[in-house]
């Protein structure tokens, strides 16, 4: 089967309690990812799977159109658990239930919903065309640059630019382009999950540079800003 689309939403958020089902624009936040997942699997012959440890999220997701008989193990739902491990556990569960093996996996992050079908189409086609790539993740151009205006403490106790190699750039614009991972979506080849790694960034990773605003919710101010953009029609894209 071609594609498994995963939606991972644990219940224990501390930065913004209940953020995965918090109302945004009159809908639970998770609904934006569910609607996008439904559109993607309709086009690419895929299956949607939900990973959560929270009964409230399971209930709201069902109201939004997806049900599950999987529940994330407690050890994969802690603050320190890695997301790749949680995705892998869900993947193996669904493959076992369906007695099949997927070719690709797309993970849609609930807390970064500013994405379009065109974003996913373009990224997926580029990813499939690069046969050696293991992962692809969405990014946005970074406002800060480690070659120019990001510093860290050095061995002598003083501070200097993070990327000292090639330092001396006199403007951010002249520095090499760097990106922020905005968390919106991640594509994986199935072979990635046979490597035993839990790091999405590999030596064979690709990026998709979002041509519009995109960011994820870590703190209440992030949600407040996202809510302002949605409620005032300032997102710049049409949300499903």
Every domain of the chain and the residues it spans = 3-142+179-231, 143-177
Looking at residue 190, what is its pLDDT?
Answer: 97
Please give the model's pTM, rounded to 2 decimal places: 0.93
Q: Is 3-142+179-231 assigned to CATH 3.90.550.10?
A: yes
pLDDT tier at 1, thresholds 50, 70, 90: low
- DSSP assignment of 3-48, as one string? EEEEEE--S--SSSTTGGG-EETTEEHHHHHHHHHHHHHHHHTEEE
Mean of the pLDDT values across residues 17-23? Answer: 93
Residue-level pLDDT at 163: 86
Q: Do 19 and 62 touch, CB atoms closer than 8 A?
A: no
Position 152 confidence tier, pLDDT thresholds 50, 70, 90: very high
Q: In this predicted structure, what is the pLDDT of residue 81? A: 82
Residue 167 has pLDDT above 80, yes or no: no
User: Is the model more confident about 27 or about 176?
Assistant: 27
Contact between residue 93 and residue 105 where contact means Cβ atoms under 8 Å apart:
no
| SS3 annotation, 154-176 | CCCCCEEECCCCCCCCCCCCCCC
Phi, psi (rounded to 5 degrees) for 106: -115, 120
SS3 assignment, position 116? coil
pLDDT over 80 (residue 14) = no
In angstroms, the Cα distances linking 195 to 191, 200, 203 are 7, 11, 13
Note the pLDDT of residue 196.
87
pLDDT at 171 over 80: no
- Residue of 185, 65, 183 whose CA lies nearest to 118: 185
Report the range of poorest mean pLDDT among 82-91, 104-113, 134-143, 161-170.
Answer: 161-170
Q: Are 199 and 208 in contact (CB under 8 A)?
A: no
Q: What is the mean pLDDT of residues 191-216?
A: 95
Handedness of CA 27, 30, 32, 36 (dihedral sign): negative
């Amino acid at each position: 089967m071609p594609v498994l689309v995963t939606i991972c939403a644990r219940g224990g958020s501390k930065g913004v309690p209940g953020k995965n089902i918090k109302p945004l624009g009159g809908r639970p936040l998770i609904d934006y990812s569910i609607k996008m997942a439904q559109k993607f699997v309709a086009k690419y012959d895929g299956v949607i799977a939900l990973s959560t440890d929270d009964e409230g999220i399971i209930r709201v997701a069902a109201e939004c159109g997806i049900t599950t008989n999987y529940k994330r193990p407690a050890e994969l739902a802690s603050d320190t658990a890695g997301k790749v491990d949680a995705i892998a556990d869900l993947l193996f569960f669904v493959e076992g239930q369906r007695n099949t093996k997927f070719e690709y996996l797309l993970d849609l992050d609930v807390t970064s919903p500013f994405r379009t079908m065109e974003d996913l189409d373009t990224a997926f086609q580029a990813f499939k065309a690069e046969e050696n790539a293991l992962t692809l993740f969405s990014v946005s151009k970074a406002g800060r640059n480690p070659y120019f205006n990001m510093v860290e403490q050095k061995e002598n106790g003083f501070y200097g630019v993070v990327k000292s190699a090639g330092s001396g750039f006199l403007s951010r614009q002249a520095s090499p382009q760097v990106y922020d991972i905005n968390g919106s979506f991640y594509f994986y080849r199935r072979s990635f999950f046979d490597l035993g790694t839990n790091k999405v960034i590999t030596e064979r990773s690709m990026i998709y540079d979002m041509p519009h605003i995109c960011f994820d919710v870590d703190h209440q101010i992030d949600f407040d800003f996202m809510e302002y953009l949605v409620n005032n029609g300032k997102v710049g894209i049409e949300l499903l």
